[in-house]
């Protein structure tokens, strides 16, 4: 599980964690607008959408150890290319490449291996520990990256030259790339070689899994929950820029705000997983979506001004906790939804094709809202989108709860 946790977060350091923590700096160093960065995210999302579906059956048939190790090595190579600070065209190529390495070869094997670890009795704990552990890794590495970034800048951050900012940011990229490469070795040596399942094993691969999963209404409701929760996760990319533009934090302070959001993740995901095994995945999912919606609505209402930081941090922590709790819950819904283990990869592929569509549209949408309405108004529109998504997700989770309560 330790190897799954480290690898499960390291593979996303470069495409997602980096811009989340250092969004203002990334925009400056690469000479990008929010829309241009959103387009790069969209390229990743479109490639990922094509990769999720075939990635599921591949995970059901082949070794997670081999697939995940190769994916990590390839992703890290892309990171070293990013350290050369390529043009916008090169950045879009890199994000498309990462869409293949992180999704086609990595995502479904990670979920399948985690479900196998948790078994039928502790699915909430397994996925809660996975996402909580991933959050702990991301927060620790993210905090270290902020320290490294500030080390290469002068004491007065505002006085740093462009070259100083670019060099400091390059060191952070190299750090993330090296950790991703090291994670490949950890996976290779920590994950055991797969055992061939016997003919009567419930874990064996059987053709037709995609068709079986497509006929399950709980899978479609799970996919809707993932869409709405993932919109919230992508929306949290805006918190560092919000702190910078609305609350007037400097770049390092804004990066610390983004890191604070990440530190909430391990505690929220693990706690949600433990409570899901005790009180039910569906109930915890409904509660998390409700809190996510309320927190987003408060920010969308424009409740914060420079100097009013305590209420902002309380709201940020609560909203982040709800979003990260959902990340620890929404794959545990498979066990509650009675998806056969042998069809796990196929179910992951279908849920992911639908659930991660925000990778395609959220980046450009956020960019358009933030660039067309500069300042606080653009951020309010972003969090209005998050509020609406939470409401839709809550409706889907209530329907899921009604279905799973019925006797088999």
Residue 44: CB atoms within 10 Å: 25
Domain range for 119:
2-192+209-404
Does 233 have pLDDT greater than 70? yes
The token duo for 109 is 């094997």
Task: Please say whether the beta carbons of 366 and 34 come within 8 A.
Answer: yes
Task: Please say whether the beta carbons of 254 and 316 come within 8 A.
Answer: no
- State how far the Cα of 408 lies from the Cα of 400, in Å rounded to an integer: 14
Residue-averaged pLDDT of the chain: 83
Q: Tally the C-alpha atoms within 13 A of residue 264's C-alpha that lie toward its C-beta.
A: 22
Q: How many domains does the chain have?
A: 1
What dihedral angle (degrees, nearest 10) is formed by the CA atoms of 293, 296, 301, 302?
170
Q: Where are the alpha helices (DSSP H) in 280-372?
A: 281-300, 310-329, 333-336, 344-355, 358-372
Q: What is the pLDDT of residue 197?
A: 47
72-130 pLDDT, tens digit per residue, is 999 999 999 999 999 999 999 999 999 999 998 898 888 888 877 776 666 677 888 88
Assigned domain for 141 exists: yes
- State how far the Cα of 296 lies from the Cα of 238, in Å rounded to an integer: 12
Assigned domain for 334 exists: yes
189-222 pLDDT, tens digit per residue, is 988 776 554 444 445 545 556 677 777 888 899 9
Residue 354 CA, chain-centre distance (Å), reads: 15
Q: What would the mean pLDDT of 164-172 be, rounded to a whole number?
A: 85
Task: Please say whether the beta carbons of 291 and 318 come within 8 A.
Answer: yes
140-167 pLDDT, tens digit per residue, is 887 788 788 787 776 666 667 788 888 8
Does 168 have pLDDT greater than 70? yes
Assigned domain for 201 exists: no
pTM of the model: 0.72
Q: What is the CATH number of the domain that holds 347?
A: 1.20.1250.20
Of residues 341 and 172, which shows the higher confidence score?
172
Assigned domain for 200 exists: no
Q: For Cα atoms 152, 138, 361, give the angle at the middle one, nearest 5 degrees.
A: 100
Give one word for 140, left, alpha or beta, with left for phi > 0 and alpha for psi -120 to 50. Answer: alpha
């Amino acid at each position: 599980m330790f190897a799954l946790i480290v690898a499960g977060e390291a593979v996303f350091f470069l495409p997602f964690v980096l811009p989340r923590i250092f969004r203002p700096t990334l925009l400056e160093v690469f000479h990008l607008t929010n829309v241009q960065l959103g387009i790069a995210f969209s390229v990743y999302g479109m490639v990922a959408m094509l990769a999720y579906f075939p990635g599921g059956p591949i995970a059901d048939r082949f070794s997670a150890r081999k697939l995940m190790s190769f994916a990590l090595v390839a992703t890290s190579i892309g990171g070293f290319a990013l350290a050369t600070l390529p043009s916008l065209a090169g950045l879009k190529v890199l994000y498309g490449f990462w869409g293949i390495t992180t999704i086609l070869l990595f995502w479904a094997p990670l979920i399948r291996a985690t479900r196998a670890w948790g078994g039928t009795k502790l699915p909430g704990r397994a996925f809660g520990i996975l996402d909580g552990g991933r959050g702990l890794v991301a927060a620790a590495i993210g905090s270290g990256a902020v320290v490294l970034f500030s080390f290469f800048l002068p004491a007065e951050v505002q006085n740093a030259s462009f070259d100083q900012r670019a060099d400091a940011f390059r060191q952070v990229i190299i750090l993330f790339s090296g950790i991703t490469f090291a994670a490949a070795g950890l996976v290779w040596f920590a994950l055991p070689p797969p055992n061939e399942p016997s003919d009567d094993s419930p874990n064996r691969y059987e053709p037709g899994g995609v068709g079986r999963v497509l006929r399950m209404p709980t899978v479609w409701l799970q996919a809707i929950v993932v869409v709405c929760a993932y919109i919230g996760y992508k929306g949290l990319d805006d918190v560092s820029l919000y702190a910078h533009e609305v609350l007037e934090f400097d770049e390092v302070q804004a990066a610390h705000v983004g890191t604070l959001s990440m530190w909430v993740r391990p505690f929220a995901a693990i706690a949600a997983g433990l409570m899901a095994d005790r009180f039910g995945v569906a109930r915890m999912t409904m509660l998390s979506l409700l809190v996510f919606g309320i927190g987003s609505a408060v920010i969308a209402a424009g409740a914060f001004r420079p100097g009013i930081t305590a209420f902002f941090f309380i709201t940020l922590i609560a909203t982040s906790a709800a979003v990260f709790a959902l990340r620890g819950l929404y794959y545990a819904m498979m066990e509650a939804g009675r998806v056969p283990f042998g069809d796990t990869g196929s179910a992951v592929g279908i849920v992911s094709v639908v659930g991660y569509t925000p990778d395609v549209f959220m980046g450009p949408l956020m960019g358009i809202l933030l660039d067309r309405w500069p300042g606080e108004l653009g951020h309010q529109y972003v969090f209005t989108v998050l509020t609406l998504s939470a409401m839709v997700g809550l409706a889907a989770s209530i329907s899921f709860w009604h279905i799973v309560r019925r006797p088999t």
